[in-house]
């Protein structure tokens, strides 16, 4: 359920926000018992510390994630998207690298495969072309050349294919 679980790390503290309450304002700090017991009243106060409605939303959201087995389903969907994106990279030399975990995927665009010169303008144009096709994606990275694919965890195969098709068509126009 958490990215850290992919790296063999046993964290002492995990912080969560935004998505934990599915849009309601809430942040959470989960700590090992010995660390949690060391907090004094007020040590962990925050403006997004929670309210009853946000807490109820978080509990419902966590229940949905667990009962719906969304972590495993997200991993499967991510493998599908990564496979298709890597196939796309073989045909589109503007793609320098495809990377990610689950459904958090970055597609790095480059002007040249050998020099790996960042293609920031092409990334922005690709993002705009995808938007015209009804697909929203971000772009960023240190050099501004990475397309960010971050769909909702409940995306279905038809919707994933629409994203992939829009990206493929947009990349062909940008080359």
Question: Domain segments of the chain: what residues?
Answer: 3-67, 71-174
Residue 49: band (very low, low, confident or very high) from pLDDT cuts 50, 70, 90: low
Q: Are 96 and 110 in contact (CB under 8 A)?
A: yes
pLDDT tens per residue across span 54-88 = 999 999 999 999 999 999 999 999 999 999 999 99
Phi, psi of 10 (to 5 degrees): -105, 95
Give the predicted TM-score (pTM) of the model.
Answer: 0.85
pLDDT at residue 167 tops 70: yes
Looking up tokens 């599908």 gives 80
pLDDT confidence of residue 46 = 67
pLDDT at residue 131 tops 70: yes
**For the chain, give me the number of helices (H) and strands (E)?**
5, 6
Q: Tell me what the pLDDT averaged over the chain comes to.
A: 93
Query: What DSSP line would sit under 141-163, residue for residue?
Result: STTS-EEEE---TT--HHHHHHH
Judged by average pLDDT, the poorest of 25-39, 114-128, 152-166 is 25-39
Among candidate residues 94, 96, 100, the one with its CA nearest the CA of residue 82 = 100
Q: How far lies 70's CA from each of 61, 103, 119, 154, in Å?
A: 11, 11, 34, 8
* Rounded CA separation 58/23 (Å): 9
Exposure string for 134-153, b = 16+ CB within 10 A, e = fewer: ebebebebeeebbbbbebeb
* Rounded CA separation 5/15 (Å): 14
Residues 71-174, CATH architecture: Alpha-Beta Complex (3.90)
pLDDT confidence of residue 26 = 87
pLDDT at residue 151 tops 80: yes
* Rounded CA separation 87/137 (Å): 19
DSSP 39: P
């Amino acid at each position: 359920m958490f990215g850290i679980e992919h790296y063999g790390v046993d964290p002492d503290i995990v912080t969560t926000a935004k998505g934990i309450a599915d849009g309601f304002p809430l942040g959470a700090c989960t700590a090992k018992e010995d660390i949690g017991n060391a907090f004094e009243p007020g040590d962990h106060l925050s403006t997004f510390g929670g309210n009853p409605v946000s807490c109820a939303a978080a509990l419902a959201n966590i229940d949905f994630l667990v009962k719906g087995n969304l972590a495993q389903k997200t991993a499967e969907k991510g493998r599908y998207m990564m496979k298709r994106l890597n196939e796309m990279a073989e045909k589109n030399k503007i793609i320098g690298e495809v990377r990610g975990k689950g459904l958090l995927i970055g597609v790095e665009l480059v002007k040249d495969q050998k020099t790996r010169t960042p293609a920031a303008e092409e990334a922005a144009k690709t993002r705009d072309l995808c938007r015209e096709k009804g697909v929203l994606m971000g772009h960023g990275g240190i050099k501004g050349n990475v397309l960010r694919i971050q769909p909702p965890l409940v995306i279905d195969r038809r919707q994933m294919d629409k994203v992939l098709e829009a990206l493929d068509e947009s990349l062909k126009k940008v080359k």
